[in-house]
Amino acid sequence: MPLPGGELASRPLYFFWICDCSGSMSGQKIQSLNTAIRESIPEMKQVADDNPSGQILVRVLEFSSGAKWRNTQPIPVENFTWTDLVTSGETEMGRAFSMVAEQLKMPPMPERALPPVLVLVTDGRPTDDYKSGLNQIMSLPWGKKAVRIAIGIGGDCDFDVLEEFIGNSEIKPLQANNPEALTRYIKWASTAVVKDVSAPPSQPRGQGSVNVQIGQIPAASTDPDVW
Where along the sequence are the contacts to another protein (CB under 8 A)? 1-9, 11, 50-53, 111-115, 141-142, 145, 195, 197, 199-210, 212, 214-227
For 182, other C-beta atoms within 10 Å of its C-beta total 23
Nearest-approach distance from CB 35 to another protein, in angstroms: 17
Report the phi/psi class of residue 159: left, alpha or beta, with left for phi > 0 and alpha for psi in -120 to 50: alpha
Nearest-approach distance from CB 132 to another protein, in angstroms: 24
How many whole angstroms separate alpha carbon 136 and alpha carbon 15?
18
Nearest-approach distance from CB 80 to another protein, in angstroms: 18
**Closest residue by Cα to residue 111 from 75, 76, 145, 158:** 145
70 versus 184: smaller Cβ distance to another protein = 184
| 8 A C-beta contact, residue 12 and residue 142 | no
Instruction: Give the DSSP H or E segment for 175.
Output: strand 174-176
Nearest-approach distance from CB 197 to another protein, in angstroms: 8
Q: Is 197 exposed, middle or buried (0-12, 13-18, 19+ CB in 10 A)?
A: middle
Nearest-approach distance from CB 15 to another protein, in angstroms: 15
How many whole angstroms separate alpha carbon 55 and alpha carbon 96?
25
27 versus 219: smaller Cβ distance to another protein = 219
The DSSP bridge partners found for residue 148 are: 118
66 versus 201: smaller Cβ distance to another protein = 201
| 8 A C-beta contact, residue 42 and residue 186 | no
Beta strands 66-69 and 75-76: pairing type? unpaired
11 versus 68: smaller Cβ distance to another protein = 11
155 versus 217: smaller Cβ distance to another protein = 217
Nearest-approach distance from CB 142 to another protein, in angstroms: 7
81 versus 226: smaller Cβ distance to another protein = 226
